[in-house]
């Protein structure tokens, strides 16, 4: 297997972020052609941008736009399908979607058309590691929140059940000790307190 090639930054990659933003706005917001954008770049003193590099960049912008539209449609469909699902299911779904995106990123091939995998530099690996760590942390936080919410809901339901039982016991003329025993029995049985 040949050693991994280091990708040389394209002429677009070397542009200032403001110029790259301008390219995106001109293409996406205003529908300019590649030649019109290249002419504007020449006017701005950015003459070292080749037409082919600009074409690849515009194509990638359009592909990213299509992916974002698809992701938005999927998210809307999932929200419609999940509806008023408990928050833990929605959070789990978001975590699964992020795992899926990371998997697609790590198994992608480069844009050279040779089918070689994308090569990640140290910064990319660090970012992916942090993303995975954040996902694990989000999962734990979500699990902790679900546990806390369920515990609070159980405590509230137990207190309400105990109060209803106490009210019914008093209505039947049970003594204070009998009422306290019922309250204690319900609380202990449900909460283990």
Within-domain flag for 69: yes
In a domain, 173, yes or no: no
Domain assignment of residue 132, yes or no: no
* Domain coverage including residue 55: 10-82
Q: Per-residue pLDDT tens for 86-145?
A: 556 666 677 777 777 777 776 766 665 566 677 777 887 788 788 778 877 887 887 888
* Number of structural domains the chain divides into: 1
Cα Rg of the chain, angstroms: 30
Per residue in 141-187, pLDDT (tens digit) is: 878 888 898 888 888 888 888 888 888 888 888 888 888 888 788 77
pLDDT surpassing 70 at residue 57: yes
Give the pLDDT score at 1: 47
User: How many DSSP H helices and E strands does the chain contain?
Assistant: 6, 0
The answer as to whether 54 is a domain residue is: yes
In a domain, 160, yes or no: no
Q: Is residue 189 part of a domain?
A: no
Residue 64 resides in a domain: yes
CA dihedral 93, 95, 99, 104 (to 10 degrees): 60
User: Do the domain assignments include residue 53?
Assistant: yes
3-state DSSP assignment of residue 64 = helix
């Amino acid at each position: 297997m040949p050693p991994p090639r280091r990708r040389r930054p394209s002429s677009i990659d070397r542009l200032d972020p403001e110029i790259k933003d301008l390219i995106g706005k001109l293409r996406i917001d205003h529908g300019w052609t590649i030649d019109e954008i290249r002419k504007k770049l020449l006017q701005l003193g950015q003459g070292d941008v080749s037409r082919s590099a600009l074409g690849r960049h515009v194509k990638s912008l359009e592909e990213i736009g299509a992916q974002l539209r698809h992701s938005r449609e999927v998210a809307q469909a999932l929200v419609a399908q999940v509806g008023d699902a408990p928050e833990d299911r929605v959070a789990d779904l978001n975590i699964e979607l992020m795992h899926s995106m990371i998997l697609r990123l790590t198994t992608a091939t480069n844009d050279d058309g040779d089918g070689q995998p994308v090569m990640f530099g140290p910064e990319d690996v660090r970012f992916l590691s942090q993303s995975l760590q954040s996902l694990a942390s989000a999962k734990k936080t979500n699990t902790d929140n679900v546990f806390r919410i369920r515990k609070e809901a159980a405590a509230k339901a137990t207190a309400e059940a105990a109060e209803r039982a106490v009210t019914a016991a008093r209505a039947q003329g049970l003594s204070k000790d009998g009422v306290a025993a019922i309250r204690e029995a319900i609380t202990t049985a449900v909460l283990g307190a």
